[in-house]
Structure formats: C-alpha cells, structure tokens
C-alpha cells in the first residue's frame, strides 16, 4: 500500500493569474509545474509541494491553511512586509498578537493572507523543535 505516494498541500484560488503573481512577487516562487489547462499550479516551498487550484470557494476558510516554519521570524516578517504583506492582529481567548506576533515563550507566530484570502502562519519554533522537524523531513525523504 502506498508504495509510490507523495502528499501535497492544497490551496484554493479564485484567480490563478493573481495567485501566480503573488507567489512570484511575495514568496519568490515560480510554479514547478503548470497543468496548462489553467486549473492548477504546483509550487515547491520548504520541501513541500503546494497545489494551487482554481475554485470559486477560495478564501472562505477562517483557519490557517498553510504553515511555514522559520529560524528567524523578525527577518522573514520584515522581508514579507517589503512585498506588501500585512500581518493579522488577533485578540482571542488563548491568542493575542502584538504588532502581528503571538509570543508563546520559546515559540512565536504571525499570520497573513495570500492574494486569495488563504491564511498562512509563519512560526519561529524552538531550536529543538526545528531540529526535530528537519529530522522528520529528512527521514521521510529517505523513505520516499
């Protein structure tokens, strides 16, 4: 079972051209594959393949759709802000941001939306958790 399996993240887009421009301009990513029928684009970011597909339901989810882990939240927030990204502020039970950042002690996170209204999380995790995530990725790559 699953001898030849690959998992991908999936994000909706109501306008693929707009999404393609956003991915290029903001995340400096170009599609690794375009289905040529105008229905889906595939990107590689952080070792994950992301399929961005056309649908009228884009931007309707009110939850985090995609998570990015970084070793330097401040650096990456600054870089994203130079590309027009605005970070969300939340004041919810168990989650309060200050200048777009939620501080959880050894971990910090920030949220923003893409051109299609999908919510992205950008998190700086403890060194131990980052190392664990990198080991998990390398381990799974070795079994693929």
- How do residues 62-77 score in pLDDT, each as one tens digit? 999 999 999 999 999 9
Over residues 32-52, mean pLDDT: 91
What is the pTM assigned to this prediction?
0.87
Neighbours of 29 (CB within 10 A): 16
Q: Judge residue 65's burial from the number of C-beta atoms within 10 Å of its C-beta, 0-12 exposed, 13-18 middle, 19 or more buried.
A: buried
Task: State the pLDDT confidence band at 20, using cuts at 50, 70 and 90.
Answer: very high
Q: pLDDT band at residue 92, thresholds of 50, 70 and 90?
A: very high
Reading the block at residue 92, the tokens are: 């919810």
Instruction: For residues 66 and 10, give the distance between their C-alpha atoms in angstroms, rounded to a whole number.
Output: 9
Residue indicated by tokens 């919510």: 119
Domains, the chain, with CATH or none? 9-143 (3.10.180.10)
For residue 96, the tally of other CB atoms under 10 A from its CB is 12
């Amino acid at each position: 079972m699953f001898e030849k399996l690959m998992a991908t993240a999936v994000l909706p887009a109501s306008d693929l051209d707009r999404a393609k421009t956003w991915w290029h301009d903001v995340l400096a990513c170009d599609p690794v594959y375009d289905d040529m029928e105008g229905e889906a684009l595939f990107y590689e970011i952080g070792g994950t393949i992301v399929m961005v597909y056309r649908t009228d339901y884009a931007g309707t989810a009110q939850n985090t759709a995609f998570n990015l882990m970084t070793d330097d939240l401040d650096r990456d927030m600054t870089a994203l802000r130079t590309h027009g990204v605005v970070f969300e502020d939340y004041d919810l039970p168990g989650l309060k941001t200050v200048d777009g950042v939620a501080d959880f002690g050894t971990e910090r996170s920030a949220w923003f939306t893409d051109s299609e209204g999908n919510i992205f999380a950008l998190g700086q995790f403890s060194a131990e958790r980052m190392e664990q995530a990198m080991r998990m990725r390398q381990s799974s790559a070795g079994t693929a």
